[in-house]
Amino acid sequence: MSQEQAEAALLREIAALANAGRLAAARDRAEEALAARDAMPVRELAAMLALRLGDRAGAVAHLDRLHAARPDDRAIRLNLAQALTGTEDVSRIAPLLAPLPSEPRVDRIAAYAALRGGEHAAALALYARVLEAWPEDAESWANRAQAELALGDGDAAISSLETAITHRRDAVPFYLALIAVLERLDRQEARRTVARDAAAIAPDNVDVQLALGLAEAANGDDSAAEAALRRAVTLDRSRPEAMLELGLLLESRNRLDTLAELIVHVRPYAGGELALLEGWLAFRRGELDRAAVHAGAIPPTIGAHRRAHLRALIADRQGDAAKAFTLFEEMNAGALAVSGPAPARRYRDGVAASTEALRAAPVAAVAAGQHSSPVFIAGFPRSGTTLLDTLLGRLPNAHVLEEQPLVPALERAVGDPGRIAGLDGAALTALRAQYRTMAAEIVPQADRRLLIDKHPLHMARMPLIARLFPGAPVLLVERHPYDVVLSCFMANFRLNGAMRSFTDLTEAALTYDTVFTAWREAETRLGLNAHRIRYERLVADPEPELRAALAFIGADYSPELLDTAAAARERGPVKTASYAQVIEPIHQRAVARWQRYRGQLAPVIPILRPWAEWMGYDG
């Protein structure tokens, strides 16, 4: 038998093994033959088999040798570039593709390399060319969404992922990617809808059930959230994520006894990650030494932001400010590391632009309208707005809209803040109708209820709120600026565009300055119907402070309003970082906490002192 005949027989043998589904055996036979004698056709087959078996590095090794032997072979060059997309060496792809003319396959590989390399604008341009030629290429639509999101165009990213799903309705990763984008953009209802769609097509997928549970929790449906998370736990006991999310849900809803039962139930098969839940349970029960032991045992498989958060809270409660602050820094760095790329524009830059638009508009106080208005609660995050809305939520016929996206949706509808001053009567009527429609979807008989629309970031939305609801009562909750900024820095927020501002102490202080500048400008120019509530007075002697607020909104005082534990039970889930406090009796533990952190706050006190003095606080 000649060498050519022997090689042909060998290739047939390898192909027969592969066609029979015995890919590993086929590859072993090819590697054995190559060890005895190098042959280009066998090496090409070995590279193909490595790719089919998911061994990108093995494929690259073969293709590198093939490319070195035949540098002008277009197919080898393309296959090598394609194999490199699954490795960490994507920087090699562009030089490989450079000699080749543009065509969809070349552009598709180049686009992915640009995306992996962080060249998002280049990736977007390349994907546009690919999709013009291959409009049903679902994976390219999904990858295009990544580039759009990185460039700050969340709506385009949503549209691209929806198109990807249209072309591949069974592709679970596309649903999960869309859920993640909607979460990041705080589109919680849409997030839940997509998660439910994913669960309908893949009910036994643990990642889908986990995403569904978190989406249901974000929308306040605790029973649905718990059901999905418990299903995720049963689907794959080797995955700790579902167990942890279920436990943290129970902790955040103050269901400590149920959390204890969960810990007992999963302990036989849970790994070291269970220490996170055991630490939280001990911390919430006031067992600080025991909590510290559990927190110290949390393995690195748990995200740094979660490990550091619990340890920081324990250190703060034990009075070790220096250790706590260092751990809060670690928490924030860890949160940023897992939050994805930063938005193209800082939150405070958008607030500043809105303030400039207000300054450019004619000065005009807004007269009270003839239509009913909600009561608005504003106040910088961590100022005490949750405590206030918990108390007011016990009023007869009242319903608190806690951080619901009603006004933000109207903001998006208006667009440029420079348009607010020029909105005509028809536009305002349409926007008010949209607000009431959204409210009615949340609150039964909303038109007959006292709506209390609470959102800390309403402070920066006053120009729009004042145009929509002239003369609407606004309750502004004030707290010492130093305590507020410190508390924001210490809170393990879910990082949307605004909350990213609080992962850095200086950025948090600058954001505070920008938001209060916006508030003061609106109050001065628009003549807001506002009443101030002082957090420190509310926790020290709540009745007089609450009576004054109730008189302002035309409601009657009742001693039952001050029962925070009953109020918390009645209101259900708390969406903010204040959930653990609202079930406790009103206390002053967090008042003047900044004094223990005076040294750490020193760099930002010059930014905040003018606001402390403006409010009448001592610095």
> What are the sequence ranges of the domains in the chain?
3-100, 134-300, 347-615
Q: Write out pLDDT tens, residues 185-194.
A: 888 899 999 9
- Are 527 and 546 in contact by the 8 Å Cβ rule? The answer is no
Mean pLDDT (whole number) for 276-288:
97
CATH number of 3-100: 1.25.40.10
All residues at 6 or more sequence positions from 567 whose CB lies less than 8 Å from its CB, including other chains: 390, 391, 393, 394, 561, 582
Calculated CA dihedral for residues 237, 242, 247, 248, nearest 10 degrees: 160
Dist CA 609 CA 232 (whole Å): 49
Q: Do 3-100 and 134-300 come out as alike in CATH topology?
A: yes
Architecture of domain 134-300: Alpha Horseshoe (1.25)
β-pairing, 530-534 with 450-454?
unpaired
The DSSP call for residue 375 is: E
In DSSP terms, which residues pair with 399 in a beta bridge? 451
Q: pLDDT at position 37, please?
A: 84
- Are 226 and 249 in contact by the 8 Å Cβ rule? The answer is yes
Dist CA 574 CA 391 (whole Å): 13
Mean pLDDT (whole number) for 422-441:
94
Per the listing, tokens 């098969």 go with 269
- Are 268 and 238 in contact by the 8 Å Cβ rule? The answer is no
Among 136, 203, 133, 134, smallest CA distance to 175 is for 203
- Are 335 and 502 in contact by the 8 Å Cβ rule? The answer is no
In DSSP terms, which residues pair with 474 in a beta bridge? 376, 530
Higher pLDDT, 39 or 302: 302
Mean pLDDT (whole number) for 132-138:
97
Instruction: Indicate if the pLDDT at residue 403 is higher than 80.
Output: yes
Dist CA 581 CA 31 (whole Å): 65
Q: pLDDT at position 152, please?
A: 86
Q: Write out pLDDT tens, residues 153-168.
A: 999 999 999 999 999 9
Q: 141: alpha, beta or left, given left = phi > 0 and alpha = psi -120 to 50?
A: alpha
Q: pLDDT at position 577, please?
A: 54
Task: Print burial letters for 236-249: b (CB count within 10 Å at least 16), e (below 16).
Answer: beeebbbbbbbbbb
Q: pLDDT at position 569, please?
A: 59
Q: What is the mean pLDDT of the chain?
A: 90
- Are 87 and 60 in contact by the 8 Å Cβ rule? The answer is yes
Q: Write out pLDDT tens, residues 1-12.
A: 577 777 788 788
- Are 366 and 471 in contact by the 8 Å Cβ rule? The answer is yes
User: Two tokens at 19?
Assistant: 């066609």
Dist CA 147 CA 126 (whole Å): 11
Q: pLDDT at position 405, please?
A: 86
Instruction: Indicate if the pLDDT at residue 28 is higher than 90.
Output: no
User: Two tokens at 478?
Assistant: 């004030």
In DSSP terms, which residues pair with 378 in a beta bridge? 476
CATH number of 347-615: 3.40.50.300
CA distances from 583 to 34, 390, 586, 593 (A): 71, 10, 9, 20
Q: Write out pLDDT tens, residues 511-525.
A: 999 999 999 999 999
- Are 503 and 336 in contact by the 8 Å Cβ rule? The answer is yes
Dist CA 393 CA 404 (whole Å): 15
Instruction: Indicate if the pLDDT at residue 588 is higher than 70.
Output: no
β-pairing, 530-534 with 474-478?
parallel
Q: pLDDT at position 427, please?
A: 95
Q: pLDDT at position 518, please?
A: 97
> Which long-range contacts does 535-539 make (Cβ < 8 Å, 24+ apart)?
535/383, 535/384, 535/387, 535/477, 535/478, 535/479, 535/480, 535/591, 536/479, 536/480, 536/588, 536/591, 538/384, 538/387, 538/388, 538/477, 538/586, 539/384, 539/387, 539/586, 539/587, 539/588, 539/591
Phi, psi of 371 (to 5 degrees): -100, 160
Instruction: Indicate if the pLDDT at residue 579 is higher than 70.
Output: no
Mean pLDDT (whole number) for 306-310:
96
CA distances from 225 to 228, 267, 357, 573 (A): 5, 22, 42, 12
User: Two tokens at 481?
Assistant: 């600026």
Q: What percent of the chain has pLDDT over 70?
A: 94
Q: 445: alpha, beta or left, given left = phi > 0 and alpha = psi -120 to 50?
A: left
